[in-house]
Amino acid sequence: MNAQTSTPAFDVQRVRADFPLLARTVHGKPLVYFDNANTSQKPRQVIEAVDRHYREHNANVSRAVHLLGEEATAAYEGARDALARFINAPSRDELVLTSGTTQSANLVAYSFALPRLQPGDAILTTTMEHHANIVPWQIVAARAGATVQAAPISASGELIVEEFVKRLTPEVKLACVGHVSNVLGTVNPVRELAKECRRRGIPLFVDGSQAVPHRPVDVQALGCDFYALTGHKMLAPTGTGALWARKEHLDAMPPFFGGGEMIREVKFSGTTFAEPPHRFEAGTPNIAGFAGVSAAIAYYESLGFDAIRDHERALLDHATARLREVLGLRIVGEAAEKEPVISFLIEGAQATDLATLLDLEGVAVRSGHHCAHPLMQFYGVPATLRASLAFYNTHEEVDAFVAALLKVRRLLR
Smallest distance, ligand PMP to C-beta of residue 395, A:
25
Smaller CB separation from ligand PMP, 167 or 232: 232
Which H helix or E strand runs over 18?
A: none
- The answer to whether 133 and 105 are in contact (CB under 8 A) is yes
Maximum Cα interatomic distance, the chain, rounded to a whole number of Å:
72
Smaller CB separation from ligand PMP, 275 or 337: 337
**Residues found near ligand PMP in the complex (CB under 6 A):** 100-102, 130, 132-133, 178, 182, 207, 209-210, 230, 232, 371
d(CA 212, CA 230): 9
Smallest distance, ligand PMP to C-beta of residue 186, A:
11
Beta-sheet strands, E only, within 268-365: 272-273, 329-332, 341-346, 363-364
Q: Which of 253, 229, 206 is nearest to 112 (CA)?
A: 253
Q: At residue 192, what are phi and psi to the nearest 5 degrees?
A: -65, -40
Active site residue 371: yes
d(CA 365, CA 388): 7
Smaller CB separation from ligand PMP, 178 or 203: 178
- Name the residue type at position 278: H
**Alpha-carbon distances of 389 from 37, 166, 243, 309, 395, rounded to whole Å:** 8, 34, 25, 12, 11
Residue 170, C-beta contacts closer than 8 angstroms, at least 6 positions apart: 200
d(CA 183, CA 344): 10
Smaller CB separation from ligand PMP, 40 or 133: 133
Smallest distance, ligand PMP to C-beta of residue 231, A:
8
Smallest distance, ligand PMP to C-beta of residue 260, A:
23
d(CA 56, CA 82): 21
Smallest distance, ligand PMP to C-beta of residue 164, A:
17
Smaller CB separation from ligand PMP, 117 or 236: 236
Smallest distance, ligand PMP to C-beta of residue 181, A:
7
- The answer to whether 231 and 289 are in contact (CB under 8 A) is yes
Catalytic residue among 176, 197, 224, 371: 371
- The answer to whether 316 and 326 are in contact (CB under 8 A) is no
d(CA 305, CA 299): 11
Catalytic residue annotation: 371
